[in-house]
Amino acid sequence: MNDAIWAGTISVAGHENAELEAYLARPLGEEPRGGVVVIHHMPGYDEASKEIVRKFAAHGYAAVCPNLYSREGAGVSPDDQAAAARAKGGVPDEQLVGDVAGAAAHLNGLDHANGKIGVIGFCSGGRQTFLAACSLQIDAAVDCYGAFVVNEPPAESGMKVTSLLSKAPGLSSPLLGLFGADDSFPGPEEVAVLAAELEKLGKDHEFHTYPDAGHAFFAVDRPSYRPAAAVDGWKKIFDFYGRHLSA
């Protein structure tokens, strides 16, 4: 088996054809493969996000993480881009959907693409994953502790985001949700409301809430890392994509 991968920075066309910086990783083998769009967390397009992209490639997928803060300027460091985007209340939902659509189209245009697209996001990217899966035709979505899918953000937050619950009827794919029991954004009650709504709508979903884990338990470079939850979470992600992204 050829497990070699290629990884590096590329450009993709995002919402309204904006040129976005993006990080792509793909296997060098010639087997047909699904694509995964990775949506980075609120702190931005960082090393950890790129490592996640490479992890998907090492598991046989073509994966790309668009820099959602590319519009803050080329040549600007990702943390400065993230601070500028935060001061503006985050990225608009419509723009996010266009950016994910562009990233997915790029993956589907690569050699050996099998036409299947997964989306995964962490933190604010978890909410954006749900948004993308309710707005675009995709094949498998993974929401890792995304807040404000159900609840509105606090009025004083200055964030542009709103609840997405009314979009749930449009969910186009199975949804895997991975949450920490000790998280407050989203708290277990918010996760329960989402699960009940998806149940009511007959939408295919699988939620897991890990004990002794809070927000960002996948983040290996932060004290929030919880190995037991993260190891099991990755197993569930690859099992889920294995079922839904094969040709």
Interacting residues of 121 by C-beta distance below 8 A, sequence separation 6+: 38, 39, 40, 41, 127, 128, 129, 142, 143, 144, 146
Of 123, 139, 143, 244, catalytic: 123
Within 10 Å of residue 227's Cβ, how many Cβ atoms?
A: 10
Q: Which is nearer to another protein, 114 or 163 (CB)?
A: 163
Based on CB atoms, which residue is closest to another protein, 63 or 65? 65
Q: How far is the CB of 76 from another protein (least distance, A)?
A: 5
Q: Retrieve residue 234's tokens.
A: 């990755």
Note if 134 is an active site residue. Answer: no
Give the separation between CA 133 and CA 27, rounded to whole angstroms. Answer: 25
Q: What's the closest the beta carbon of residue 186 comes to another protein, in angstroms?
A: 9
Clarify whether 205 is annotated catalytic: no
- What is the phi-psi region of residue 22: left when phi exceeds 0, alpha when psi lies from -120 to 50, beta otherwise? beta
Residue 216 C-beta: closest distance to another protein, Å: 7
Site residues, another protein (CB under 8 A): 42-44, 46, 72-73, 76-77, 79-84, 86-87, 123-124, 147-148, 153-154, 156-159, 183-185, 214-216, 222-224
Shortest Å, Cβ 84 to another protein:
4
**List 93, 99, 143, 183, catalytic entry:** 183
Residue number with CB closer to another protein (1 or 155): 155
* From 15, 205, 215, 244, active-site residue: 215
- Cβ(100)–Cβ(39) below 8 Å: yes
- Find the DSSP H helices in the chain: 47-58, 78-87, 93-108, 124-135, 188-201, 227-244
59 classed as catalytic: no
Distance CA 130, CA 167 (A): 9
Q: If you compute the radius of gyration of the chain from its CA atoms, what whole number of angstroms results? A: 17
Q: Which is nearer to another protein, 72 or 197 (CB)?
A: 72
Residues catalogued as catalytic: 123, 183, 215
